[in-house]
Amino acid sequence: MLKPQNGPTRELVSLDGLFAFKVDSDNAGLREGWQNARLDTALEMAVPASYNDVFADKAIRDHVGWVWYEREVRVPRGWVGERVWLRFESATHGAKAFVDGVLVAEHQGGYTPFEADITEHVSPGGAFRLTVAVNNELTQATIPPGNITETDDGRRQQQYMHDFYNYAGIHRSISLYSTPAVYVEDVVVTTGFEGDPGAAGTGTIATGTVDYAVVVAGETAGLLPVRVRVLNASGAEVAAADGISGTVAIPDVELWQPGKGYLYSLVVEVVDLDGQVVDSYAQTFGVRTVEVRGTEFLINGEPFYFTGFGMHEDHVTIGKGHSHAQMVNDFSLLEWVGANSFRTSHYPYSEEVMDYADRHGIVVIDETPAVGLNADFAGFFSTGAKKTYGPEFVSDETAAAHRQVIAELVARDKNHPSVVIWSIANEPQSSEQGAREYFEPLARLTRELDPTRPIGFVNVMFDGPDKDIITDLFDVIMLNRYYGWYLNTGDLASAEKALEAELLAWTEKHGKPMIMTEYGADTMPGLHSLYEQPWSEEYQSAFLDMYHRVFDRVPAMVGEHVWNFADFATSNGIMRVDGNKKGAFTRDRRPKAAAHALRRRWAPLNNKKPQAR
């Protein structure tokens, strides 16, 4: 799905701001038809934001079910004869949108966009009432999964099997935009190059190849010619072609590289028979290749070593709401610490984040929201599930939702040069009978949707190389390991031996590149210890240093993502003190001692693997 944009044939109006807001305490709003009149409420709520922490009200924070948003929207009067679209960048986890009481869009899945053509319901220059009902429930039929129980006194409670707070609401922008009646519906760009791109900064002598495919929609779509132009970053035309698909060459191409996010733009134009432009859409792209060869991970044919973090969209007050200022700050801290990459743990991040990563050359492992598909965590999350795969837990319904989140992620992010790996799940049970039957079709689907990028899933500690039965279906091995934290707590010497032995066993068995996608220790900022005790700043630094020594000795290790970039909110539990404290930065983005240590290690690396120590 294309990101909406302003352009010569399109206009975009942001609907972000304050909405009337009402909590549907009895979940009766749909039955009572709340969409048919103004909401009876004095509350107001910001979009984008999670609503949970905005009010000083526990009942709102803990509510399970529907909340309602409403505002008046005016359609620009110049949009006569245009199609009018309503687009949500996300609504977590499910939503129904109404225009003057008429249902125009419905979507399940909290982290991907959806939209509706509302032309027939509105008139240019006129106003309409936009009502959005948003549901935060997680069940067996959702990704991520969860289950809802009822207390003796009738309160509904949400359980889920993932370690981050179930923030909900309209987390990203809502927009109203216009397109012509015949319009560019989709563009897919894939790239390569021939020749020698030369070393970074020395200029290039390569020719870029750009394969493109355009989908045009609308009644007379098939009759109208399509042409494309490639513009370089300065806006100069460097290539052009006719037709809805084809290949164009960019002479002396400037590659998209880690740390140097050079972007071109493919301007797609639908023209009428007189050569007048009917619709125009500019799709940015970068020319780069990604490849797994043996135990190496190559970007533009060069071995790449990932440094960075698993992250979260998580901030004080706004929760998972997107904020430009917080985003720029987070990227600035990534740069400061010397990170060249991150993983969108554990769900697709805002499209603004992906665009920023493209522009700044930050490499991304792009993850679906499939987290918590693992009955082995039953004790940790008190879910009681005994077996993962089957009608009780990860069922056919879960699989259908999983297929949907993969398809929507690839549809949204396929043109981002920053994305180099699709991660289709975090820590699913991968040793139980049924895991292979579950994952084989999902791996195949991901490859069908995008044959150009390596795929993987993130392996959990319990399912090491001797137990796992699905890793051969994937291209890279991504591991979350907590030797020295959940295991060998406080005993880094034993942890070091166990970690190295396991990494060598994976290499022996699969011979694929490995990325440590999580390793970390909870750390209270300001807690110090002479003896490197767990929870102290000294322990966090020593823990990370131990992992780094091991990575440097294991040739198949191609990357390290510390868990986590910053402290983040979680559900209540005896394992968490005001959230998860494994951040290198605190929740308000102050560096712990570990952040300084990481900076010393990463800043000089220049995307290359460090020498063994």
Residues lying near ligand BDP in the complex (CB under 6 A) are found at: 163, 346, 426-427, 480, 518, 563, 580, 582
Helix (H) or strand (E) holding 25: none
- AA letter at 203: G
As a whole number of angstroms, the distance between CA 455 and CA 464 comes to: 19
Contact call for residues 209 and 192 (beta carbons, < 8 A): yes
Nearer CB in complex with ligand BDP: 350/426: 426
CB of 258 to ligand BDP, least distance (A): 25
Nearer CB in complex with ligand BDP: 70/163: 163
**Would residue 518 show up in a list of annotated catalytic residues for this protein?**
yes
Helix axes 593-602, 537-553, angle to 10 degrees: 20
**Would residue 106 show up in a list of annotated catalytic residues for this protein?**
no
Nearer CB in complex with ligand BDP: 283/540: 540
Nearest 5 degrees, angle CA 243-CA 245-CA 248? 90
Nearer CB in complex with ligand BDP: 200/487: 487
Nearest to 22 by CA among 169, 141, 143, 233: 169
Nearer CB in complex with ligand BDP: 98/563: 563
Q: Which of 82, 137, 518, 560 is catalytic?
A: 518
Nearest to 109 by CA among 444, 441, 400, 456: 400
Nearer CB in complex with ligand BDP: 300/345: 345
And the tokens for 72?
């008046």
C-alpha dihedral, 450 to 452 to 458 to 464, nearest 10°: 120
And the tokens for 107?
């979507």
HSE on the CB side for 564, CA within 13 Å? Answer: 25
Q: What are the beta bridge partners of residue 245? A: 213
CB of 438 to ligand BDP, least distance (A): 18
- State the SS3 of 241-265: EECCEEEEEECCCCCCECCECCCEE
Helix (H) or strand (E) holding 329: helix 324-337
Q: Where are the alpha helices (DSSP H) in 40-194?
A: 58-62
Nearest to 371 by CA among 341, 330, 321, 405: 405
As a whole number of angstroms, the distance between CA 547 and CA 514 comes to: 14
CB of 403 to ligand BDP, least distance (A): 22
CB of 234 to ligand BDP, least distance (A): 42
Please give the backbone phi and psi of residue 535, each rounded to the nearest 5 degrees, phi first: 85, -15
Distances (CA, A) of 513 to 305, 481, 483, 497: 10, 16, 20, 20
Nearer CB in complex with ligand BDP: 130/311: 311
CB of 346 to ligand BDP, least distance (A): 6
Burial environment of residue 274 by CB neighbours within 10 A (0 to 12, 13 to 18, 19 or more): exposed
Q: Is 448 helix (H, G, I), strand (E, B) or coil?
A: helix
Q: Which of 269, 313, 367, 427 is catalytic?
A: 427
Contact call for residues 170 and 88 (beta carbons, < 8 A): yes
First to last CA, the chain: 47
Contact call for residues 282 and 7 (beta carbons, < 8 A): yes
Position of minimal CB gap to ligand BDP? 163
Nearer CB in complex with ligand BDP: 135/426: 426
As a whole number of angstroms, the distance between CA 41 and CA 469 comes to: 53
Nearer CB in complex with ligand BDP: 414/582: 582
Nearer CB in complex with ligand BDP: 426/540: 426
- Quickly count: other Cβ atoms within 10 Å of residue 219's Cβ: 8
As a whole number of angstroms, the distance between CA 296 and CA 475 comes to: 11
Q: Just list the catalytic residues.
A: 427, 518
